[in-house]
């Protein structure tokens, strides 16, 4: 028997999977005027909020809520809505509409807490350098000892991955009976060593051999030393949970980590197999509207 062999757990994870996949697509969505994917932008913002002294719980719930709403609203956030003339209440209504469209699979208590956290995310001070470095550091992708790596383009960044794992950890937490805040912070911080260490994947870790643990610890301590002391202490506490899956918070983190890694591979597999017919038929690329008939006539005449 494993930690997942409990009534409803397997069903809950299967039910969450489509939402998690949509949330993960924020790694691949960008907007004008701000560098990086939406996930990378959220990663930088979350770290900036933490180092400015915001409460970890507040950051965890508000950033996770924003990530759920992003699944359908993409880059339309409270800041954009305010620039377009909506007041806070009107913006919150739009965000909740997007949130409600996808949030049914969530634990009901968590769902209401996240829904209440939707709204403007504030203007934190500058992020720590680690955030920009991890956004610039590519992930290795699938590697195995003794085998050439499978190169996929474009690679996700460590910021993409860490933000996504943080959000997944919060959403999975009720499934395994965990506090949702701890896996969020652990997700944000679990690749601090990759600020300096380029990612060669599992194959590279095997080649580092006995030096791996020391390399990771040395580079982590370097980044922790640059954080405010109280935050550094909290991060050290959660990083200690990575070693196993014997407590609920560690199980939530490891579930989030493996789900993100495998959903990322599924994304690349789907992208490689994507066809024009899927866009035209399944997604109704030429959607209903006053000029749909004319559009279809144009495509027919062009042989498309």
Q: 138-158, pLDDT tens digit by residue?
A: 999 888 889 888 888 888 999
> Residue 201, by phi and psi: left (phi above 0), alpha (psi -120 to 50) or beta?
left
Q: How far apart are CA 42 and CA 35, in angstroms?
A: 11
Q: Is residue 218 situated within a structural domain?
A: yes
Q: What is the mean pLDDT of the chain?
A: 93
Same domain, 286 and 154: no
What single string gives the DSSP state of each residue in 77-102? -HHHHHHTT--HHHHHHHHHHHHHHH
pTM for the predicted model, two decimal places: 0.90
pLDDT in tens, 186-227: 999 999 999 999 999 999 999 999 999 999 999 999 999 999
Same domain, 184 and 290: no
Same domain, 96 and 198: yes
137-143, long-range: CB within 8 Å, 24+ apart, which pairs? Answer: 137/194, 137/195, 137/198, 137/199, 138/199, 139/199, 140/199, 140/200, 140/201, 140/204, 141/201, 142/201, 142/265, 143/200, 143/201, 143/202, 143/203, 143/204
Number of domains in the chain: 2
| Of 102, 122, 151, 141, nearest in space to 52 by CA | 122
Per-residue model confidence (pLDDT) at position 1:
38
Lowest mean pLDDT among 35-49, 84-98, 265-279: 265-279
Does 27 or 266 have the greater pLDDT score? Answer: 27
Domain that holds residue 22: 9-273
Same domain, 100 and 249: yes
């Amino acid at each position: 028997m494993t930690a997942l062999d409990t009534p409803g757990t397997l069903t809950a994870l299967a039910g969450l999977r489509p939402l998690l996949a949509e949330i993960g697509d924020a790694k691949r969505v960008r907007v004008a005027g701000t560098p990086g994917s939406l996930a990378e932008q959220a990663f930088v913002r979350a770290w900036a909020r933490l180092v400015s002294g915001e409460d970890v719980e507040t950051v965890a719930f508000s950033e996770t809520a924003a990530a759920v709403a992003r699944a359908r609203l993409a880059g339309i956030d409270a800041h954009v809505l305010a620039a377009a003339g909506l007041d806070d209440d009107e913006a919150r209504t739009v965000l909740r509409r997007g949130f409600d469209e996808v949030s049914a699979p969530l634990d009901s208590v968590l769902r209401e807490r996240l829904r209440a956290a939707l709204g403007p995310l504030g203007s934190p001070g500058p992020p720590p350098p680690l955030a920009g470095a991890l956004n610039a550091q590519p992930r290795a992708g699938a590697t195995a000892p003794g085998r050439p790596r499978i190169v996929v383009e474009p690679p996700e960044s460590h910021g993409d991955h860490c933000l996504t794992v943080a959000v997944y950890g919060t959403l999975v937490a009720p499934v395994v009976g965990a506090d949702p805040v701890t896996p969020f912070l652990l997700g944000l911080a679990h690749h601090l060593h990759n600020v300096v260490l380029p990612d060669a994947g599992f194959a590279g870790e095997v080649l580092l051999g006995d030096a791996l643990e020391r390399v990771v610890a040395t580079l982590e301590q370097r980044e922790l030393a640059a954080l405010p002391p109280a935050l550094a202490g909290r991060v050290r506490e959660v990083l200690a949970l990575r070693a196993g899956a014997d407590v609920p918070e560690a199980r939530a983190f490891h579930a989030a980590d493996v789900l993100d890694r495998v959903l990322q591979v599924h994304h690349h597999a789907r992208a490689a197999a994507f066809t024009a017919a899927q866009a035209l038929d399944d997604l109704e690329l030429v959607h209903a509207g006053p000029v749909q008939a004319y559009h279809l006539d144009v495509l027919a005449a062009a042989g498309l």
